[in-house]
Amino acid sequence: MLIAALFTLALSCTDHDVPANLPESACTAIDGSPRLYPCEFLIESITFLAKDGTDLATVTGSMQMASLSRFQAKVNTNTGNVVGSMGAATYDVRIRVKRIASPSFPVNVGYLVGYTHNGAGKAILHTPSFPGDTYGERTKFGPPVTLDMAIGETRDIFVEKVFPYSIADFGSGIIKPSALFAVLSIFIDNDVTTLNFNRTIPPYSYVGSVVEAYYEKLNVQISN
């Protein structure tokens, strides 16, 4: 009876073992120094969807390029080619995220997913947009999301992104759209961990050092 009880206890403990953080969670701040807390996530890919839901363009690493047809957008406000005219193309975007570490702090409301068109990418600052703002020089895609998967598992986050463009004359008879904001960086924050860094001094005065994952400087081109 005692042996059976001990065996049951051993199984119970094994069933509740917490998976170890993956090696890549030992990430760095933007200056290359070890980050105070491990990074929770890795952004494996970003995919822009066509209006019929199929994949239009996928990137898997920072500083890559995505060419997006305005006529494949789910909403496109300009179908003409009048030089100087403006338009906007709206796409659904799938962000595939892999968990590589447990949270350093439990989230309060959830994970924050946002972006910036600032060319500084991960080196943008926490400059508040209004009194009390802690999100800095970027924009949230929407309300916080739940990312409660186990270490090693992936999950897709779906957001919507609008790209304004103008119709431009590139010479030699080439008239085509030109994105007004060609650079896109995406960030994922744990809404509690991000505030537990000393944001008043480098490297944590830079957004890229306090987020759980980022994709930096995606070059977006709007085409016909």
Q: What is the pLDDT of residues 186-203, one digit of tens each?
A: 999 999 999 999 999 999
Tokens 């490297």 correspond to 203
Per-residue pLDDT reduced to its tens digit, 79-94: 999 999 999 999 999 9
**What pLDDT score does 19 carry?**
81
Bond from prior residue into 203 cis (ω within 30 degrees of 0):
yes
Q: 189: closest CA among 96, 110, 100?
A: 110
**What pLDDT score does 111 carry?**
98
Question: Phi/psi at 66 (nearest 5 deg)?
Answer: -125, 125
Q: What angle do CA 101, 104, 105 make, to 5 degrees?
A: 130
Per-residue pLDDT reduced to its tens digit, 108-156: 999 999 999 999 999 999 999 889 999 999 999 999 999 999 999 999 9
Per-residue pLDDT reduced to its tens digit, 11-48: 334 445 668 999 999 999 999 999 999 999 999 999 99
**What pLDDT score does 29 carry?**
98
Which distant-in-sequence residues (6+ apart) come within 8 Å of 17 by Cβ? none
Which H/E stretch holds residue 185?
strand 183-190
pTM of the model: 0.90
> Cβ(179)–Cβ(161) under 8 Å?
no
Per-residue pLDDT reduced to its tens digit, 59-75: 998 899 999 999 999 99
**What pLDDT score does 192 carry?**
98
> Cβ(46)–Cβ(58) under 8 Å?
yes
Q: 207: closest CA among 189, 184, 183?
A: 189
Per the model's pLDDT, the better-predicted residue between 108 and 182 turns out to be 108
- pLDDT band (50, 70, 90) for residue 4: very low
**What pLDDT score does 129 carry?**
87
- Strand-pair category, 65-69 with 213-223: parallel
